[in-house]
């Protein structure tokens, strides 16, 4: 059986930093959304139907974002590379 040479993956430190920056940006967006939602809940007792609809919609999108962040493996994890970096 003829075997071909393994495909090499060239990963630069910039690639890792870009990925980490994007992941951090998503986390910050999630935190901002959560803060806005908490402020809305704390500030208003009388919600009309459209604002409750918007709030339910925000909860659904917030859940999907947090689920995506929690289940997203880092590039190093996907490639099986160990890092000496402390999380």
pLDDT at position 78 is 72
The CA distance from 9 to 41, in Å, is 48
DSSP 12: -
What are the tens digits of pLDDT across the range 44-57? 754 454 555 555 55
CB 34 within 8 A of CB 62: yes
Q: What is the pTM of this model?
A: 0.41
CB 57 within 8 A of CB 50: no
Cα angle, residue 71 at apex, residues 67 and 75 outer, rounded to 5° = 135
Confidence check: pLDDT of 43 > 70: yes
Q: Which residue has the higher pLDDT, 21 or 84?
A: 21
Average pLDDT of the residues in 54-68: 62
Confidence check: pLDDT of 87 > 60: no
């Amino acid at each position: 059986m003829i075997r071909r040479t393994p495909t090499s993956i060239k990963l630069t430190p910039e690639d890792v930093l870009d990925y980490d920056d994007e992941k951090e940006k998503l986390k910050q967006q999630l935190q901002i959304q959560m803060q806005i939602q908490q402020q809305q809940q704390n500030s208003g007792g009388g919600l009309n139907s459209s604002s409750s609809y918007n709030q339910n919609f925000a909860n659904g999108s917030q859940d999907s974002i947090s689920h995506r962040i929690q289940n997203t493996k880092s590039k190093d994890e996907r490639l099986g590379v160990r890092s000496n970096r402390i999380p």
